[in-house]
């Protein structure tokens, strides 16, 4: 038997990091088993679906390493609507489903409770199909449905506790439960790997598989992804869009590595490992049952490690979208003609050790490409205090006298200026840094001044001195 897994997102919004994790888990499992990864777009929610969301799914999968052409699909659920209706008709004809025209209010009136499930009122009344008549599955009265789950063992559900659930609406359109099952059957899916939030629906879906005469797939329900308050990640409350992390400057490798650690860990006391190790070691039966905490701070630390591990040339290439404002990345504050590739290449090794996401490259190097620095007013107020004007005067004079404009000469010269005032280098260089870069923190100062050059450095220091008049 060829293993066939599927990833079936809905094109109704940005690509959720939890969905990305499920996609990767399915992808790796299929690869390990010599199987097939199928992409199915569940696009039957016409009111919320948009073509750009579908393209967003494909682009996000590309980014995390599941590239177009390497999987089967994408298929679209809407294209299988005829099969969905045919399956509903077969279930009705075989007596496994029946029509019902009860409203929620009808059920509440009979049961006396708004919390009571459907009471089977129309089970044996022979209601014919018609407008407003929903089709309900006839759940077995006795026995239990056992779900074979590679992660959770064999969860067992008593059939008497499963109400006769709707499989087609009053207008004849099949609901998600039935459409999902029929699609999996049509595509020959053998393993369904998905989040545990779908587990309550699994016995219903398994009953549908059996009623339609097809052996159910093997299930694997991975733990749900939660935030720091142990709440399920929500699009309305949490930062969950994979595209947002991509556009902020997270590396695909770091994101893949981190997502695979949500509920699982490689062997040994390690977390940052080559992707080949994850592909080799990942096992569904080793996935934890407890909820997986998506820790953005930890992801950020991961990303910093991945950035620092890049060869410098690759780091320079990776920064280009933020330096040029390409694609979905916002343009930088400088004009294209102001950018100096040689100057950036000179400071790139310094910047690489100091940023955790690629978007941080812009505030670290903008002083090199702007006619004048973007002054952080809070930094100015904090730094430019009594004595700063005189210190800048002395520093300008000392720098003007330098024969060699290099980092070491600049450092020793400014140290001497500070020593005459009884100041350590840290206190001495603070006004110079703000005058030249506009900020109190950034790349190593003297290497930055060397790249910026004598003329531009002195011009900025003089401008800052005039502001202090």
Over residues 299-324, the pLDDT tens digits come to 999 999 999 999 999 999 999 999 99
Chain centroid offset of residue 175 CA:
28
Helices 425-437, 388-400: axis angle to 10 degrees equals 80
| Helix/strand/coil for 50 | coil
The pLDDT value given to residue 115: 60
112 contacts: CB under 8 Å, gap ≥ 6? none
CB 251 within 8 A of CB 65: no
Closest C-alpha to 30, from 48, 62, 6, 13: 6
Q: In the CATH hierarchy, which fold is given to the domain comprising 372-467? A: Arc Repressor Mutant, subunit A (1.10.10)
Over residues 383-409, the pLDDT tens digits come to 999 899 999 999 999 999 999 999 999
Q: Where are the beta strands (DSSP E) in 24-178?
A: 36-41, 72-76, 97-100, 134-137, 144-146, 156-158, 166-168
| Helix/strand/coil for 204 | helix
The pLDDT value given to residue 238: 87
Tokens of 466: 């005039």
pTM: 0.91
Ranges of residues in the chain whose predicted pLDDT is under 50: none
Using CA atoms, how far apart are residues 241 and 15, in angstroms rounded to an integer?
5
Over residues 7-61, the pLDDT tens digits come to 999 988 889 999 999 999 999 999 999 999 999 999 887 777 778 899 999 999 9
461: left (phi over 0), alpha (psi -120 to 50) or beta: alpha
CB 317 within 8 A of CB 275: no
Question: Quick count: other Cβ atoms within 10 Å of Cβ 197?
Answer: 13
Q: How many helices (H) and strands (E) does the chain have?
A: 19, 12
CB 65 within 8 A of CB 34: no
The pLDDT value given to residue 294: 95
Mean pLDDT, the chain, integer: 94
DSSP 207-240: HHHHHTT-PPPEEEEEPPEE-TTSPBP-TTTS--
The pLDDT value given to residue 192: 98
Q: Which residues are catalytically annotated? A: 235
Q: Where are the beta strands (DSSP E) in 207-317?
A: 218-222, 225-226, 292-293
The pLDDT value given to residue 71: 97
The pLDDT value given to residue 286: 95
Give the β-pairing of 36-41 and 4-7.
Answer: parallel
CB 467 within 8 A of CB 435: no
Over residues 94-103, the pLDDT tens digits come to 999 999 999 8
């Amino acid at each position: 038997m060829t293993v066939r897994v599927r990833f079936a997102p809905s094109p109704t919004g940005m690509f959720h990091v939890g969905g990305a994790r499920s996609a990767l888990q399915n992808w790796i499992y299929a690869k390990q088993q010599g199987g097939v990864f199928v992409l199915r777009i569940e696009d039957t929610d016409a009111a919320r679906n948009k073509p750009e969301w579908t393209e967003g799914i494909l682009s996000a999968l590309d980014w995390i390493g599941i590239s177009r052409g390497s999987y089967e699909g994408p298929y679209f659920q809407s294209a299988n609507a005829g099969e969905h209706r045919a399956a509903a008709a077969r279930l009705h004809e075989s007596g496994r489903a029946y029509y019902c025209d009860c409203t929620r209010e009808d059920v509440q009136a009979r049961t006396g409770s708004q919390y009571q499930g459907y009471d089977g009122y129309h089970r044996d009344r022979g209601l014919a199909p018609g407008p407003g008549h929903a089709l309900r599955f006839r759940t077995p009265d006795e026995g239990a449905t056992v779900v074979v789950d590679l992660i959770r063992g064999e969860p067992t559900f008593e059939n008497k506790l499963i109400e006769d659930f709707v499989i087609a609406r009053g207008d004849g359109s099949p609901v998600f439960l039935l459409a999902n099952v029929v699609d999996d059957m049509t595509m020959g899916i053998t393993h369904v790997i998905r989040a545990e939030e779908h587990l309550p629906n699994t016995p219903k879906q398994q009953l549908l598989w059996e009623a339609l005469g097809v052996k159910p797939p093997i299930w694997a329900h991975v733990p749900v992804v939660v935030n720091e308050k142990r709440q399920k990640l929500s699009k309305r409350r949490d930062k969950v869009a994979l595209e947002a992390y991509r556009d902020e400057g997270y590396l695909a490798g770091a994101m893949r590595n981190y997502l695979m650690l949500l509920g699982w860990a490689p062997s040994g006391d390690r977390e940052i490992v080559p992707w080949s190790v994850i592909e080799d070691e990942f096992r569904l039966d080793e996935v934890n049952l407890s909820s997986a905490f998506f820790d953005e701070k930890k992801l950020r630390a991961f990303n910093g490690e991945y950035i620092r591990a890049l060869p410098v040339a690759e780091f320079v290439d990776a920064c280009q979208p933020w330096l040029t404002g390409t694609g979905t990345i916002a343009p930088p504050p400088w004009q294209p003609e102001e950018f100096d590739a040689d100057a950036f290449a000179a400071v790139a090794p310094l910047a690489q050790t100091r940023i955790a996401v690629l978007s941080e490259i812009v505030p670290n190097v903008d002083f090199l490409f702007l006619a004048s620095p973007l002054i952080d007013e809070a930094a100015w107020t904090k730094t430019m205090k009594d004595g700063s004007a005189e210190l800048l005067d002395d520093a300008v004079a000392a720098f003007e006298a330098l024969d060699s404009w290099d980092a070491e000469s600049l450092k020793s010269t400014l140290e001497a200026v500070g020593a005459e005032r009884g100041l350590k280098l840290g206190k001495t260089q603070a006004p110079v840094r703000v005058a030249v870069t506009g900020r109190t923190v950034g790349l190593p100062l003297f290497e930055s001044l060397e790249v910026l050059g004598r003329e531009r450095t002195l011009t900025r220091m003089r401008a800052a001195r005039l502001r202090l008049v």
